[in-house]
Amino acid sequence: MYAASKENQAFLHARFAPGGDVLKPYKAVVDRWLWPDVFKNQDTSVAKAKKAISDYKKAIGQPEGLAELMIFYCECAAGFSDDVGLQDEGYFDALVRMFDQALKAVSALPDGGRPPLLARLDGVRRMSHNFGYGVGDAMDELLAEHEVDD
């Protein structure tokens, strides 16, 4: 089972590993599919990046880890868009949906862990005002709706 696929390996490490960064393999997948190497003609895949988050949720699903992966997704998607000037409405829609999910995940965490995560989401929101398509405005509205306290 372990040798069958990298997904199985990540699942087993997340579930049974006594130490180490269990998020690392999931972050690597998110990073690969949301911030591809354009010099190698790699493409983006929102579905494959989201699958990594889903796989983590199935493997271990700790709320803090899930929030971290969602925020990391937003940071990668926004960073890549800003870096290469991506203009893809579907990619932006997925980013806004994940931003919303990340806000919900952060709001469910204990108060003490929220401020640094909210600061990271705010950085994504500010950067997203550069993209057009109303991405930053949508994130402003979501942030106001959730009214997550620091």
H/E stretch holding 34 reads: helix 24-34
Q: Is 44 helix (H, G, I), strand (E, B) or coil?
A: coil
Does pTM surpass 0.75? yes
Per-residue pLDDT of the chain (150 residues; tens, 9 = 90+): 555 566 655 555 555 555 568 999 999 999 999 999 999 999 999 999 999 999 999 988 899 999 999 999 999 999 999 999 988 999 999 999 999 999 999 999 998 889 999 999 999 999 999 998 899 999 999 999 887 554
Alpha carbon distance 88, 93 (integer Å): 9
CATH number at residue 124: 1.25.40
| DSSP state, residue 86 | -
Domain span at residue 52 reads: 2-146
- State the residue for tokens 């880890």: 65
Number of domains in the chain: 1
At what angle are helices 63-84 and 114-128 packed, to 10 degrees? 20
